[in-house]
Amino acid sequence: MFKQGIVSIAMILLVLISCDSKKKDILKESNKAETATAPKKEVVYQVFTRLFGNTNETNKPWGTIEENGVGKFNDFTDKALSKIKDLGVTHIWYTGVPHHDVITDYTAYGISNDDPDVVKGRAGSPYAVKDYYNVNPDLAENPAERLQEFEALIARSHKAGLKVIIDIVPNHVARNYKSITKPEGVTDFGETDDKTVVYNVNNNFYYNPGEPFVVPERRNGYVPLGGSGHELLDGKFDENPSKWTGNGSRLPQPDPNDWYETVKINYGVTPDGHHDFDSLPDGFDTKDYKAHFEFWQDKAVPDSWVKFKEIALYWTAKGVDGFRYDMAEMVPVEFWSYMNSAIKMKNPEAFLLAEVYNPSLYRDYIRKGKMDYLYDKVQLYDTLKHVMQGWGKTDDIVPIQRDLSDIEHHMLHFLENHDEQRIASPEFAGNAFKAKPAMVVSATISTSPTLIYFGQEFGEPGAEDLGFGDPSRTSIFDYGSVPTLRRWVNNKQFDGGQSTTEELELYDFYKRLLNFTISSEALMGNYQDLHDYNTHNTGDYGLKQFSYARWSDNEKLIIVNNFDADYGTEFYLKLPKDLVDAWHLKPGEYLLEDQLFKSYQTVLQVSENGAEAKIAVKPLQSFIFKLQ
């Protein structure tokens, strides 16, 4: 009996151990699942679609498509997309996709020619959209099947693990807007307008009755197409009555600096600023997109609202994962509530990014307009630019994070995009490597997404004069190619086979940084500034250094940046006691290891009153230290 008792007890213990082991396995799997689904940083790769795959080196000012060449949808091969994904990218923004005005003749495909008197450049502005229900014929191998070719690109992008973003430009359209491929039942912008009045709530445009449009005066030697002949180039454009111009000019003859190639959309805002639509009730800034969607269901809205909602849902149905909205602050926030809530009802994960430059409007466009993200341009970008140029102070970064703390996740960070100067251009920093510490700050200081502009990762200087516009910005108006990118594309091998040593070195930096950001848990967690504390308490730490801490339960980071392009420095970086307490660090030594290059370690000495670590930084060097 004694033996039987021992056996019974042993069996019970085995069962308990087995159950405990299974419990631990279940918990491990649960923790794995939680880690897998935990939010991570997002990285948007903006690519100017017609320039990406073009390997033609001619780059003649005002060159034709035959002379300078053009990139195609099909240049984004599986290999090209895989390489973009490997850079540390989660979303790809294909800029210039909707069918906009171009000078190339596509009449053989039923597309009317566009008048160079009201087109900027030979390839045209991507923000003068002519047909929202189709895509730029320049980008297709077969223009007759251009929409199908783009749909195939969406599928390839998804296969590569990339989400797709395209532009929608609600504030204005091309002067000659006419969709030849719109779905049945859809009317064009302006098709049913009453042109005898300046304004009607359901007119799509504003008019100047009795006053025909006059082409802007040519100044400073400007001649469309650089003076080359064209049958429509006669200094005239038939528009009677004239429409208000995209930037709001009411003149029948806009100024040459106006957005004269576009016309402004009417959203139910009268010429004196009155709103002919319902306002959102008090408290709606705290409600979700479902409540916003329901609010508009029984409301009469201006015709332009419906047209743009239909456009957004058309592309959503084709698999587009999100939109970048041009000049969103020129359109009433109520419209964004109406449209964005409709998009979210179809795709709750849609990525909605808006160009808004007025900080006093940020919170309304996020909370009432249901935007996911806005450009952090006039605060972080402008400040970092000044620091990179050598005259700005890192002290100025600190109050930005404080001011935006309640909306920091919604403020997308960038150092380049199609509107801004290239970092390597003489007009900006003159040296692409000056972006390194700024890029680390931009990508790691908050939980917001990061955007990089194609060619930025190779130090593209944007030096070409391709026609309309000036060097320092890669032209968005003309045909051409991008030299640093062309070398990486390497005759469609997408392997950097022709890239210089410096270009590959910079590419390696971006790849390391971006891949770290999209995998780090701490970068979606807490933030604490260390700059002020070290400015006042640390010798040899000054106006060209910048540091902060980021952490989660499982990952603790100390990020140190040296913006000085000429001098390195050595100092004892100090952590205040409240951070040491928040991290639950006991007195002793802790190893800090850099996560960018894994080649630098130092020791954090923790005492009862705080902590410090000896750090030596070279010019333009950054460290992302992880507490081991």
Residue 619 one-letter amino acid: P
Stronger pLDDT, 6 or 363, i.e. the higher one: 363
Half-sphere exposure of 235 (CA within 13 A, CB side): 5
Q: How many helices (H) and strands (E) does the chain have?
A: 16, 22
Residue 474 one-letter amino acid: T
Q: For 381, which DSSP code?
A: I
Q: Tell me: the pLDDT tens digits for 394-414?
A: 999 999 999 999 999 999 999
Identify the band that residue 38 occupies on the pLDDT scale cut at 50, 70 and 90: confident
Measure the CA–CA gap between 211 and 194, rounded to whole angstroms.
15
Q: Tell me: the pLDDT tens digits for 326-359?
A: 999 999 999 999 999 999 999 999 999 999 999 9
Partnered with residue 614 across adjacent β-strands are 572
Start-to-end CA span in the chain (Å):
55
> Could you give the C-alpha distances from 611 to 244, 548, 561, 605, 626, in angstroms and in order?
62, 14, 19, 5, 15
| Residue 3 pLDDT > 60 | no
Contacts of 170 (CB under 8 A, 6+ apart): 265, 308, 325, 326, 328, 331, 335, 339
> What would the mean pLDDT of 16-44 be, rounded to a whole number?
56
Residue 146 one-letter amino acid: R
Whose CA is closest to 287, among 200, 370, 231? 370
Give the per-residue pLDDT at 37: 64
CB 484 within 8 A of CB 459: yes
| Residue 60 pLDDT > 60 | yes
Cis peptide bond N-terminal to 241, omega within 30: yes
| Residue 51 pLDDT > 90 | yes
- The three-class DSSP label of residue 312 is helix
Between helices 146-159 and 78-86, what is the axis angle to 10°? 40
Q: Tell me: the pLDDT tens digits for 534-562?
A: 999 999 999 999 999 999 999 999 999 99
Half-sphere exposure of 233 (CA within 13 A, CB side): 15
Strand 242-243 and strand 351-354: the pairing is unpaired
Partnered with residue 601 across adjacent β-strands are 593
Contacts of 272 (CB under 8 A, 6+ apart): none
> What would the mean pLDDT of 584-593 be, rounded to a whole number?
98
> What would the mean pLDDT of 147-155 be, rounded to a whole number?
98
Q: Tell me: the pLDDT tens digits for 172-214?
A: 999 999 999 999 999 999 999 999 999 999 999 999 999 999 9
- The three-class DSSP label of residue 306 is helix
Between helices 303-317 and 333-346, what is the axis angle to 10°? 30
Identify the band that residue 13 occupies on the pLDDT scale cut at 50, 70 and 90: very low
> What would the mean pLDDT of 599-625 be, rounded to a whole number?
97
Stronger pLDDT, 35 or 207, i.e. the higher one: 207
| Residue 318 pLDDT > 80 | yes
To the nearest 5 percent, what fractions of the chain are helix, strand and coil? 35, 20, 45
> What would the mean pLDDT of 85-98 be, rounded to a whole number?
98
Answer left, alpha or beta for residue 459, where phi above 0 means left and psi between -120 and 50 means alpha: left
> What would the mean pLDDT of 74-94 be, rounded to a whole number?
98
What value does the mean pLDDT of the chain take? 94
- Indicate the helix (H) or strand (E) that contains 570: strand 569-575
Residue 550 one-letter amino acid: R
Residue 136 one-letter amino acid: N
Residue 386 one-letter amino acid: H
Give the per-residue pLDDT at 391: 96
Length of the chain, in residues: 628
CB 530 within 8 A of CB 625: no
CA 99 to chain CA centroid, nearest Å: 20
Whose CA is closest to 523, among 492, 490, 558? 558
> Could you give the C-alpha distances from 390 to 297, 383, 461, 544, 565, in angstroms and in order?
53, 11, 18, 9, 8
Whose CA is closest to 561, among 487, 492, 623? 623
CB 314 within 8 A of CB 134: no
Give the per-residue pLDDT at 11: 44
Of 10-24, 161-175, 228-242, 412-426, where does mean pLDDT reach its minimum? 10-24
Whose CA is closest to 531, among 393, 391, 378? 393
Contacts of 319 (CB under 8 A, 6+ apart): 151, 154, 155, 158, 164
Whose CA is closest to 597, among 562, 626, 555, 628? 626
| Sequence-separated contacts (24+) of 135-138 with Cβ below 8 Å | 135/97, 135/98, 135/99, 136/49, 136/50, 136/96, 136/97, 136/98, 136/99, 136/100, 136/102, 137/99, 137/102, 137/104, 137/106, 137/109, 137/111, 138/50, 138/65, 138/70, 138/102, 138/104
Can you give the pTM of this predicted structure?
0.94
> What would the mean pLDDT of 467-490 be, rounded to a whole number?
97
Q: Tell me: the pLDDT tens digits for 248-280?
A: 999 999 999 999 999 999 999 999 999 999 999
**What are 390's two structure tokens?**
């050598």
CA 101 to chain CA centroid, nearest Å: 23
Q: DSSP assignment of 210-276, as one string?
A: T----PPPP-TT--GGGG---TT-SS----SSEE-BTTS---SS--TTS-TTEEEBP-SB-TTS-B-
Between helices 289-296 and 333-346, what is the axis angle to 10°? 110
User: In angstroms, what is the C-alpha Rg of the chain?
Assistant: 28
